[in-house]
Amino acid sequence: MRSTLRLFAPLLLLPALIAPALAVTAAPVSANCGGSATPIADIQGPGAPSPLAGQNVSIEAVVTADFGGTDGFGGFFVQQADPQRRNQPGVSEGLFVYAPKARAKAGDLVHVTGKVEEKYGQTQLTLSGAIAVCANGQTVTPATLTLPVDSPNAFAAYEGMLVRLPQTLTVTDNYELGRYGSVLLSNGRLRTPTSVVPPSQAQSQIDANARNRLILDDGSNKQNPASVPYPVPQLSAANTLRTGYTVRDVQGVLEVRYGAWRVQPVPGAAAPTFDARANPRTNAPARDPHANLRVASFNVLNYFNGNGLGGGFDDPNNRGAKTYQEFQRQEAKIVSALKALDADVIGLMEIQNNGYGELSAVRQLAAKLGGAWRVVDPGTSRLGGDAIAVAMIYDSRKVEPVGRAATLAIDDKNRQPLAQSFRRIGGKQALTIVVNHLKSKNCPDATNDDLDQGDGQGCWNPTRTRAAAKLADWLAGTPTGVAGQGVLLIGDFNSYTYEDPIRLLESRGYRNLVSRWIGANAYSYVYNGEAGYLDHALASLPLASHVKAVHEWHINADEPVALQYTLAYKSAEQQQTYYAPDAYRSSDHDPVLIDIALPGGGR
């Protein structure tokens, strides 16, 4: 769909919705209604910077929205009255007037004088005189804008203008909702490029995503607002705004701020209504009736229990909760999620690497699930040298370990995998489960080939790919001593569907179960507004035939980060209203569940 700029029904700018106007006093330059005025189109021009940058000009235009006052933007937006518009292709008819000591009233036709400047990527007129009000109750015609646009630069044609987006748009990111009151919208959900196409084709998807994103802001410059307006009446744990929600007929002023294009709603106008039906919260997926074993994979978002006695949270190696209070909040959410999974074996990522004793994080977490839960202990004091590790816990009423627990020291970047074979209680056949967590895509310290190659795979891709090869070689040697019905790889591979590490494992005989059972719309993680899955389930061919279902439970990736356990950047009230001891936003990754019909009997 192309962007369009056409006339729409005139929008009446009601003075009652806007704060009263305050005139600037002792103006050095006079403002005369009907006097000489430069068309806004001549100021904006067809590109950046403005052809009149640095010059003093006068304009006569209609105020569309005032964002002065405390927490505002220090000015107001104006738009050329309809009869005076130039209607030049690609040229805006709107402008921001920077006037921190003045207020304006929407619907007023004003004559102002100031200096044309480029500030933070946006053209503005810095007021140098008085505001002359020439008429009241004026209307302007909003431009109709549709996503995707022809190019990211196409937004400039609407800069400073009142716009309307008549489409049904999707919330594709809510990361900044709690701190800045904004959400990212797109025409349909944005997908991580390498989750839908190979790296060789990623650039076209990267470009398409760049043309299909626009921020809906809250009209305020305030960080950590006491009340986040979306969704109506305000954000809370019980009134969430998930990615995947939809909204229609967004209206406001288009501007660029902090390097991104955004729509600022007209002050006093009704807040947009979000439709939750497109992606509601759900209960955990039911176990397939033909399955007798459920395995789950869950990244527990740096579950650190300190010293295990309620202290130690000030340790410099701690990546999780900063206080015991925060830890209690985090643990309650994680335990709620784990219990709801109804799994027999759970692989964990991002758990504190503090051993397997009674005070260890993994022991504490297993105990919270009940007395029957046990920890797979590889017989080492720690699993590798990182602050976090993978772990495995299981319900001893349902399964029992066979063979030996095994691990592999891959390198100093990837976390060591943990392998253990299991059979059902009373059963005769076993499978081997391997929990993994490969090197992240973050770029600090990356060098040479490990730098971002611009193909969508991020940094450290060769390091992850080498780890996948070593993993496949290691498993070919049956490290647990049990061949059984095959091998199930689970965990956070920090690689999307079409990236090299996953492709390598597929070439070594492992089936991508998420792709097979969920398909192209699968996702377990949202980053920069793009959804894809880093959390995988890959089965060797013998085991793949026994898989009955694979699920992603979307309790985390879709939820605002503000609903996490943390206390920072929240008022005392928000620390209560944003929090619930439930599964939602217990982590930043969604759990993956694999239902298997393991042969060999058992109860």
- Return all residues near 455 (Cβ < 8 A) that are at least 6 apart: 194, 199, 200, 202, 203
- Run of H or E residues at 276: none
pLDDT over 90 (residue 403): yes
386 contacts 415 by C-beta, under 8 angstroms: yes
405 contacts 378 by C-beta, under 8 angstroms: yes
The residue written with tokens 């292709």 in the block is 89
- Run of H or E residues at 365: helix 361-368
> Mean per-residue pLDDT for 321-339?
99
CB atoms within 10 A of CB 545: 11
pTM of the model: 0.93
pLDDT of residue 458: 98
* Cα–Cα distance, 434 to 432 (Å, whole number): 7
- Strand locations in 152-213 (E): 162-173, 183-186
Q: Hey, is 207 helix, strand or coil? A: helix
Cis peptide before 148 (omega within 30 of 0): yes
The residue written with tokens 């503090």 in the block is 354
The tens digit of pLDDT for each residue in 142-189 reads 999 999 999 999 999 999 999 999 999 999 999 999 999 999 999 999
> Mean per-residue pLDDT for 76-96?
97
Can 11-143 and 293-596 be said to share one CATH topology?
no
The tens digit of pLDDT for each residue in 32-55 reads 899 999 999 999 999 889 999 999
Q: What is the mean pLDDT of the chain?
A: 94
pLDDT of residue 129: 87
> Mean per-residue pLDDT for 270-299?
98
Segments making up each domain of the chain, as ranges? 11-143, 293-596
DSSP state letters, 41-95: HHHH-SSSS-TTTT-EEEEEEEEEEE--STTS-SEEEEE--GGG----TT---EE
* Cα–Cα distance, 135 to 395 (Å, whole number): 75
Whole-Å CA distances, 370 to 32, 208, 364, 424, 513: 79, 48, 10, 19, 30
Would you mind telling me the total number of residues written for the chain in this entry?
603
CB atoms within 10 A of CB 240: 24
pLDDT of residue 11: 39
11-143 maps to which CATH number? Answer: 2.40.50.140
CATH superfamily label, 293-596: Endonuclease/exonuclease/phosphatase (3.60.10.10)
Residue 481's pLDDT band, with cuts at 50, 70 and 90, is very high
Angle, helices 361-368 vs 324-340, to 10°: value is 50
The tens digit of pLDDT for each residue in 100-130 reads 999 999 999 999 999 999 999 999 999 998 8
